[in-house]
Structure 1
Amino acid sequence: MVLKENLTDNTESMAKDFYCHRCSRTVTEHAHTDGRAEELADVVLYLCDTCAKNQQKEADIDHIGEYMILHTMGKGGMSVVYKAWHEPTYRIVALKRILPEITVYEEAKRFFQREALIMQNLIHPNIVRLIDHKIGGEEFYFVLEYLPGGDLYTYVKRNSTSLTEVCRILCDILDGIDYVHGKGLVHGDIKPYNILMSHTGTGKLSDFNLARNFGELEISNPDRMSKTPVFMAPEEIVNIKNVGPAVDIYCMGISMYNIFTNRFPLTIPELNEMIKAFVKEKNPKDPITTILHHKKELVSQHSEAVKQVILKGDRVPVLDYKKDLPPELAQIIDKAVRKNKEDRFKSAREMKDALIAFLSTYEKNKSQKESP
C-alpha cells in the first residue's frame, strides 16, 4: 500500500515509514531498498544496524548470503533455524537452513525444496509468511517472518492467557487450516509447537515439512519419523495414504486438549512404566531434562506402544482432567479427537463455527454474571 498526500493540485506518493523494533530509530530508507516494504509491512519487524549487532551471539556461522546470523533458534534432524538480519533492508527474519551434512542426500534436498515451494503459495494472515529462498548450488535455505512470541503452548502458559483469548487464537488457526485445505493440501503436523505467535498476539501456522496434497501417495519424507506419535490420527497409522483434512482436525483437537489440560486424551499406564525405567537408566536425578535431552530415543523406543493405544484405546473425556472447562467447549474438543474420522468435524470451517458459537454464548453468559 502506498500512502498519498494531496499538495495543492498535485498528489505525491509518500513511502510508509519504518522503525527499529528495539530503539525506534528510523530505518525507512533501508526498508525500501528492495521495493518490498509495503508488501511485507504486516509481517516484518526491523532492527537498526546498532541494535542488530548488539543482538548478535555466537553461532556456528556468521553470515548466510545477505543475512547476518544473530543466534540459533532451534535445530532438528534435517535443518537448523536462525534468527537473522537482512543487511540491505534491516529486516529481522527466521532463516531455515538444511544442515550441511544433509545436503549429500538428494531426497532430503528435494523435500526441503518442496516445503519452500508449498509455503510460497500460501499467503494468509494466520500462516507464517515465506519471504525469500535459495534452493540449489551450495546453499539450501528459506527465509520466514520472525515471530518473537514463541509457540502457542509456551505463550499461553507464560502469559496466563484467558480462555476467551485462547479460543480466539484457535479460531484464527482454524481459519488458516481451512485456507490450506482449500488449496488441496493437508498440513500433517499440527501441534501447539507448530503454532507461532507474533508480537501482536496473532497465531500463525508453521512448519509445512510434512504437508501433502489430498490423496497423494506416500512421499517418504526423511523427516516424517519426527512426528510426535501422540499427534498421529488413527487413520494415518493404519495407512499413510489415508492422510486428509480429517487428520488436521484430529491434530487440532489433540492440541486443544493439551493446551487446556497439559495432558493427552490417551491412557497409557504401561508406557508410564517404560518412561520411568528409561529415566532411571539415564539420569534419575533430573527426569525432566533427561526426557527432553533424549526425546528422540524415547520416542523411537516407545512409539509403537503409543500407536497401539491410539488405534485401540478409549479417549479420556477432557472434563475428566479439567472439570472447570465449559461443557460446550469440552464437547468440541472431544468431538475433534474421536477415533473414527467420520465422527469428527467435517471441516476446519465447521470446527471454527462451533468454536465461535461457543464463544458467543460464553461471553454473553459471562457478561450477564458480571452485571450488577
Structure 2
Amino acid sequence: MTDEEHDSGVAYLNPEEGAVVPPPVAAPPPSRESRGSGPARTLLLGSSEHPVGEQPQGQPVVRGLIPGQVVAGRYQVERWLGAGGSAMVHEVIDLTCGAHLALKVLAVPGADASQIARFRQEVEHARGLAHPNIVRVYDVGVDGDRHFLTTELLVGMDLKRRLMGARPTLAESLRWLTHAAAALEHAHGRGVLHRDVKPGNLFLTKPGILKLMDFGLAKSSHVAGVTAQGAVLGTPEYMAPEQISGAHPVTPATDLYSLGVVAYELLTGQLPFRHPQPVPLMFLHVQQLPVPPRTLTPSLPEPFEHVVLKLMQKHPEQRYPSAAALRSDLARLWPLALPPKATSR
C-alpha cells in the first residue's frame, strides 16, 4: 500500500488553496435525540488513510448534511469540508455558544459494533489530553443513526499534503519534530499510545504549530480496547517492527519509531522502505536496515542522521527511552538548523 494508493482525505480549512470537493448528498432531517457526553466545542476529521485491519468493504455510504441542518438539536451545519475512509466532516456552529466546530460523522449506517466502538473510543482516548500540540477531542454522541464526535476545527493542512510541495527546511523539520515529540510526551505521560503516527495524522496550522490528531487506533491504560486478537493495526509505511511481528509489546517506543520514519521522510524527501504490497512492505521494517539519510541527503548534518537512525532501531530498547529524551536531543540540534548570523563588518 503506497502513499498514492491511500491518498489522504483529511478535512481542513486551507484559505490559500481551497480544496474543490463534490457537493454532499442531501439527507432527511436528523432526529432530535442525542446522547452526547459533555460540552462540545470544536472538532476535526482525522486521517482517512485506511490502516491495516481497517480496509473498508466497498465504498462507504456517505449521507451528507446540508447547510442549515441541525444535528442533535445543537450543531448547525455551515458547510461540508470533506470525506474519507468511513467518516465525513462538516463545519458547524454550536448553537449553545456560537463557536465554529468541525463535526465528524461516521458515514456508514449500520456499521459493525467494532467500528462504532473505535469511533467512540477516539474520544475516550483523547478526552484527557490537553496540549497545544494535540488536537482537542471533546464529545461523542448519536443523532438518529448518525454517530458523531466533535474535535477542534483547524486552519491549515496535514503534513502529508505539505510534503507534496517544496522540501521543508531543516529548521521547519526540526520544529515539527519537536512539536510531535512534545505531543507524544504528553500522551505517553497519561497512558495513551497513538499507534498511527504518520504525516496524515500530523496537522500544520496556519501559525505553524504542529498538532497530533486522530486517536482512532490509540491504546490507553484507562480505556478498554476493541482490537481483535491477532489483528495488525497501523499504516504499513510507518509501522514499528513490533507492531508487525508481535515480538515485543507495543510501548511508547512504538510511536517513536513511527516518528522516526516521519523524520526520515522530512529530511530525505522519501520513505525508508517502499513496496507496492502492504505485507512485504511491513516486513521490510522488520528485516531490513534503512539507507542512512546522509546517503540520500549528503548535506544533512550528521547529528540529524544519528537521531533518525536511533529512532528507527529494530529493537524498542535501543531507541530513545522516552519522547522527553528525544525532545532533549532535538533541542541540541538547533545551532545546526539555523543559518549562521552574519558577521558585522
Normalising by structure 2, what TM-score? 0.73
The answer (yes or no) to whether the contact 1:94–1:143 under 8 Å persists in 2 is yes
In structure 2, distance between residues paired with 1:96 and 1:225: 25
Which residue number in structure 2 is paired with residue 345 of structure 1? 320
In structure 1, distance between residues paired with 2:154 and 2:232: 26
In structure 1, distance between residues paired with 2:223 and 2:297: 38
Give the alignment partner of residue 285 of structure 2, picking from 310, 314, 321.
310
Matched, 1:168 2:168: no
Instruction: Mark the CA change 1:70 to 1:369 in structure 2 (over 3 Å): closer, same or farther.
Output: same
> What's the secondary structure of 2:132's corresponding residue?
coil
Judging by fraction of residues, say which structure has more helix.
1
> What's the secondary structure of 1:132's corresponding residue?
strand
Shift of 1:131: 3.7
Instruction: Mark the CA change 1:82 to 1:159 in structure 2 (over 3 Å): closer, same or farther.
Output: farther
Matched, 1:95 2:118: no
In structure 2, distance between residues paired with 1:60 and 1:240: 43
Which residue number in structure 2 is paired with residue 32 of structure 1? none
Give the number of aligned pairs: 286
AA paired with 1:227?
G
| Structure number with higher relative contact order (C-alpha < 8 Å, ≥ 6 residues apart) | 2
The answer (yes or no) to whether the contact 1:70–1:82 under 8 Å persists in 2 is no
Which residue number in structure 1 is paired with residue 213 of structure 2? 206
In structure 1, distance between residues paired with 2:245 and 2:109: 33
Which residue number in structure 2 is paired with residue 120 of structure 1? 127
AA paired with 1:304?
V
In structure 2, distance between residues paired with 1:216 and 1:130: 15
Q: CA RMSD in A?
A: 3.3
In structure 2, distance between residues paired with 1:99 and 1:70: 16
Q: 5+ unaligned residues in a row in structure 1: which ranges?
A: 1-20, 23-35, 45-58, 276-301
The answer (yes or no) to whether the contact 1:82–1:95 under 8 Å persists in 2 is yes
Instruction: Mark the CA change 1:61 to 1:359 in structure 2 (over 3 Å): closer, same or farther.
Output: same
Shift of 1:213: 2.7
Give the alignment partner of residue 247 of structure 1, picking from 234, 251, 254.
254
The answer (yes or no) to whether the contact 2:261–2:272 under 8 Å persists in 1 is yes
Instruction: Mark the CA change 1:214 to 1:67 in structure 2 (over 3 Å): closer, same or farther.
Output: same
Normalising by structure 1, what TM-score? 0.68
In structure 1, distance between residues paired with 2:321 and 2:224: 22
Shift of 1:338: 1.4
Matched, 1:142 2:146: no
Shift of 1:310: 1.5
The answer (yes or no) to whether the contact 1:194–1:205 under 8 Å persists in 2 is yes
Stretch deviating more after TM superposition (211-220 or 325-334)? 211-220
AA paired with 2:65?
I
Stretch deviating more after TM superposition (151-160 or 240-249)? 151-160
Shift of 1:69: 4.7
Matched, 1:68 2:77: yes
The answer (yes or no) to whether the contact 2:117–2:226 under 8 Å persists in 1 is no
Matched, 1:367 2:305: no
In structure 2, distance between residues paired with 1:101 and 1:135: 12
The answer (yes or no) to whether the contact 1:95–1:142 under 8 Å persists in 2 is yes
AA paired with 1:359?
W
Shift of 1:250: 0.1
Instruction: Please list, as runs of the form range in 1=range in 2, the aligned pairs for 1:168-207 lying within 5 A after superposition.
Output: 168-207=175-214
In structure 1, distance between residues paired with 2:163 and 2:129: 26
Instruction: Mark the CA change 1:109 to 1:192 in structure 2 (over 3 Å): closer, same or farther.
Output: same
In structure 2, distance between residues paired with 1:220 and 1:243: 13
The answer (yes or no) to whether the contact 2:136–2:152 under 8 Å persists in 1 is yes
The answer (yes or no) to whether the contact 2:264–2:272 under 8 Å persists in 1 is yes
In structure 1, distance between residues paired with 2:326 and 2:258: 12
In structure 1, distance between residues paired with 2:222 and 2:64: 40
In structure 2, distance between residues paired with 1:240 and 1:140: 36
